[in-house]
Amino acid sequence: MCLCLAVLHQDPVVQRALGCLKDALARDFDNLYTKALMLYTFSLAGDQETRSKIMTVLDQKAEKNGTTKRKPCANGAVIEQDLEVEMTSYVLLALLVSPPLEGFGLDYTSGIVRWLAQKQNPYGGFSSTQDTVVALQALAKYADATYSPQGTTTVTVTSLGGLKKEFTVTQSNRLLYQEERLSEVPGEYTIRAEGQSCVLAQVRRRPPSAQQPTQVIPVNEDTSLGGHMGLHGTGCIILGFSGFSLSNWIDAGE
């Protein structure tokens, strides 16, 4: 709490607490959730050497699939999704609250953001109140770090059945949630983005029965510019978009 409130890091009480945490790290342990919290703590404290060591360990343990990254439980054990989301969000926060670590810049954090976006439920939250609070804080920090006053992206959705829909995300509507009902089910759809901003795409299925939960359908990324999805089953399929601008480190038109 003292670190979050920007209390001087040289305060004797804070220094003793950080010393105890360093002693614990020296003994080595397998609890990655605790290490993620420590990474965030030492990032707030500005201890670049310690946070670099912890981040290297977490990165080695991370499961990577293309451009997405997640932090699994140690020893291959199953981890609950809410804890997994919270742990990964603390890693994202840790990478954004202090100067970038070598090899863990915005290109690295973008993979974490993609993974978190895939875990969002149809209402914008996650599995629980706790993981939702931390995840949204981390995503807001990422949006702030990558913000640019310029940037427009056009998203084109096509299908094998001949559907073609275009969505435009600009500075004036980037917080607006745009959606379109997809009528071709089953069907194959392709999403392609062109421009210079980041767009979040989410597909959800609303079952015919109100007693059944709404489901989020994952979009398989073929490249950094687009994705592909196959839709099956019954119910109302809705495709939604919202976005936030990125700084010049990424150009979706390349």
Give me the average pLDDT of each 10-residue run along the chain (254 residues).
58 85 84 92 92 93 63 52 91 94 90 86 85 93 82 84 86 81 77 79 65 53 45 46 41 30
Task: Say if CB 164 and CB 156 are below 8 A apart.
Answer: yes
pTM for the full model? 0.73
Look at the domain 12-145 and name its fold.
Answer: Glycosyltransferase (1.50.10)
The pLDDT, as a whole number, for residue 234 is 40
The pLDDT, as a whole number, for residue 245 is 40
In angstroms, the CA 252 to CA 155 distance is: 11
User: Would you give the end-to-end CA distance of the chain in angstroms?
Assistant: 43
Task: Say if CB 206 and CB 238 are below 8 A apart.
Answer: yes
